[in-house]
Amino acid sequence: MDYKSSGVDIDTGNETVRRIKRLAKSTFTPGVLSDIGSFGGLFNFDAARFKEPVLVSSADGVGTKLKVAFMANQHRTIGADLVNHCVNDILVQGATPLFFLDYLATGRLSPDVAEQIVDGLARACKDNGCALIGGETAEMPGFYADGEYDVAGFIVGAVDRANIIDGRSIAAGDVLIGLPSNGLHTNGYSLARKIAFDELKLTIDSHLPELGETVGDALLRTHRSYLPVITPLLGRGQIKGMAHITGGGITDNLPRILPAGTSARVNRTSWRVPAIFRWLGESGRVPEYDLRRAMNMGIGMILVVAANDADAVRKDLLNAGEANSVVIGDIIKGQQDVQYV
């Protein structure tokens, strides 16, 4: 018996790394000092850009959206989902991304699939101005089902200490500005899959007249990055807090940035809930409360600003390319929760 017969093919792993190197190098910024394949990734942090630099880090995955990718045999969007999710998570504290690492684990390594995943990672890293400087690709036979894998991402960014956005100045009377999502992003997929595939018995290629597209296209739409439209606003002091609307929806994510003694009042009719969420809710007969806790319902990022700054912030967002921001509510006195009206 040898290692290959036990399920681990070192030559396949080396071929995968060879393909990954080319993609990762395309994301390198001037700060990258090491090559892909080193034991550690080296990054020369230009602290001179900041008066008092603070590093901001985050790690995340894409959940059971992976199951939809397996069904569709479509792996090019998953990497972008992962990067954009992590970028948004550090963006809410005012951070600019510096570099990114990934972890890919599978039962039997396929260089073609790995290349598709990393292609998505690389494209999103370039779009967000961060470097893909390393990661880990693990072949673990017997641990994952054939054709399946898991992927996680790790990001590091930086913000000047004076420009950290932490929500501590949020007060009653402030306004909530919602930025639209473009679909489920990376949350709510266990519920969506149960409705679409278990209850309705649809296939990945089933066309939905209500949506004008297939189930696969609707569910695999790439998680949006808000970095391009929010970056021009950073450092101006107008944004008091930001919430990335992920698992838990607005209900659980918005309170994470609220100081004691405040509550968020959200007007449910202030934006039109996209068709994909209405279809899932109606088809699965999901109570509104559960749907709002599982999914973003069409709002992927929320900014909290003073009432007298709201118009200027929305104008700046428009100039940055965000034409569909909407005031969705305000801050009132309360107990760090969300009240829907």
**Residues 32, 269: Cα–Cα separation, whole Å:** 47
Of 1-5, 75-79, 154-158, 233-237, least confident by mean pLDDT is 1-5
Mean pLDDT of 312-324: 96
Mean pLDDT of 131-158: 93
Of 83-97, 134-148, 240-254, least confident by mean pLDDT is 134-148
Of 4-13, 249-258, 275-284, least confident by mean pLDDT is 4-13
pLDDT at residue 9 tops 80: no
% of residues, the chain, pLDDT over 90: 84
DSSP annotation string for 20-51: HHHHHHTT--TTB-S-TTSSS--B---GGG-S
pLDDT of 6 reads 55
Mean pLDDT of 166-179: 97
pLDDT at residue 257 tops 90: yes
**Residues 294, 273: Cα–Cα separation, whole Å:** 14
Q: Which of the two residues, 193 and 110, has the higher pLDDT score?
A: 193
Q: Is 218 helix (H, G, I), strand (E, B) or coil?
A: helix
Break the chain into its structural domains and give their ranges.
4-163, 175-340
Of 13-22, 26-35, 327-336, least confident by mean pLDDT is 13-22
Measured in whole angstroms, how far is the alpha carbon of residue 46 from the centre of its chain? 26
**Residues 267, 143: Cα–Cα separation, whole Å:** 46
Backbone phi, psi, residue 31, to 5°? -80, -15
**Topology given in CATH for the domain delimited by 175-340:** Phosphoribosyl-aminoimidazole Synthetase; Chain A, domain 2 (3.90.650)
Mean pLDDT of 21-48: 89
Mean pLDDT of 248-272: 96
Mean pLDDT of 139-168: 94
pLDDT of 188 reads 95
Average predicted confidence (pLDDT) for the chain: 93
The reported pTM is 0.93
- pLDDT tier, 36 (very low <50, low <70, confident <90, very high otherwise): confident
Nearest to 102 by CA among 134, 127, 57, 150: 134
% of residues, the chain, pLDDT over 70: 97
Mean pLDDT of 55-83: 96
Nearest to 231 by CA among 123, 108, 317: 317
pLDDT of 180 reads 98
pLDDT of 297 reads 96
- pLDDT tier, 222 (very low <50, low <70, confident <90, very high otherwise): very high
- pLDDT tier, 233 (very low <50, low <70, confident <90, very high otherwise): very high
**Residues 304, 331: Cα–Cα separation, whole Å:** 8
**Residues 163, 121: Cα–Cα separation, whole Å:** 28
Nearest to 265 by CA among 244, 279, 251: 251
Assigned CATH for 4-163: 3.30.1330.10
b/e per residue 257-279 (b: at least 16 CB within 10 A): bbeeebbbbbeeeebebbebbbb
pLDDT of 3 reads 56
Of 18-27, 122-131, 208-217, least confident by mean pLDDT is 18-27
- pLDDT tier, 37 (very low <50, low <70, confident <90, very high otherwise): confident
- pLDDT tier, 58 (very low <50, low <70, confident <90, very high otherwise): very high
